[in-house]
Amino acid sequence: MQGSEKSSRRGHRSTTMGGMPVNDMPWWRWRTNVRSGLHMLSDPVFQQECWLAGQSGYGDVTDAVYRLVEDTWLDNWSAEKYVGTIFRDSQEAALVDVAVLRVLRILHQVGADAPVSAYLEHHGWPEAVRAARDAHVRLATNDGEDPDAPPRTLEVLSIMTRVA
């Protein structure tokens, strides 16, 4: 556990940020990043209107994938390892595993530096979007948030994950 995660748990508050309980999961910052990546990967309208249109503030496909795997190493092992720390239960973990595997398969086929259109036009993209949607809906619902709300900008994500 990183030092910032340890220190954020000391004052175990019940406050919320954007509807999400701040400290109800030990590694809530990692959960927030995973949820952000899944949210963007699960929303085809967002992908067209933001990523494909080049709207700033949200990063790109590779940034979303990075948020899924940067701290968690979900590209190397199962989300099941994080039940009780990042994920609430085995169902969340299983849905995340499916989404990560489908998205990573496409990332490796088209390349991390590929244009957004290469992802969106990939034959497996609709399946990856569905898997990300299933995981996103489960996590958002379990956190008491509306899964259909628009994705947050990276600036808002940064604010949310600062030490409370």
Give pLDDT tens digits for 125-146.
Answer: 999 999 999 999 999 999 999 9
- Contact (CB, 8 A) for 60 and 54: no
Domain that holds residue 75: 27-161
User: What pLDDT does residue 58 have?
Assistant: 95
Choose among 27, 36, 113, 41: nearest CA to 71. Answer: 27
Q: Which regions of 61-162 does DSSP assign to beta strands (E)?
A: none
Residue 53, in any domain of the structure: yes
Residue 18, in any domain of the structure: no
Residue 11, in any domain of the structure: no
Residue 5, in any domain of the structure: no
Q: Considering the chain, what is the average pLDDT of its residues?
A: 87
Domain count, the chain: 1
pTM: 0.85
Residue 7, in any domain of the structure: no
Residue 19, in any domain of the structure: no
Q: Which regions of the chain does DSSP assign to beta strands (E)?
A: 16-17, 20-21
pLDDT exceeds cutoff 80 at 113: yes
Residue 85, in any domain of the structure: yes
Q: pLDDT-based confidence at 1, cuts 50/70/90?
A: very low
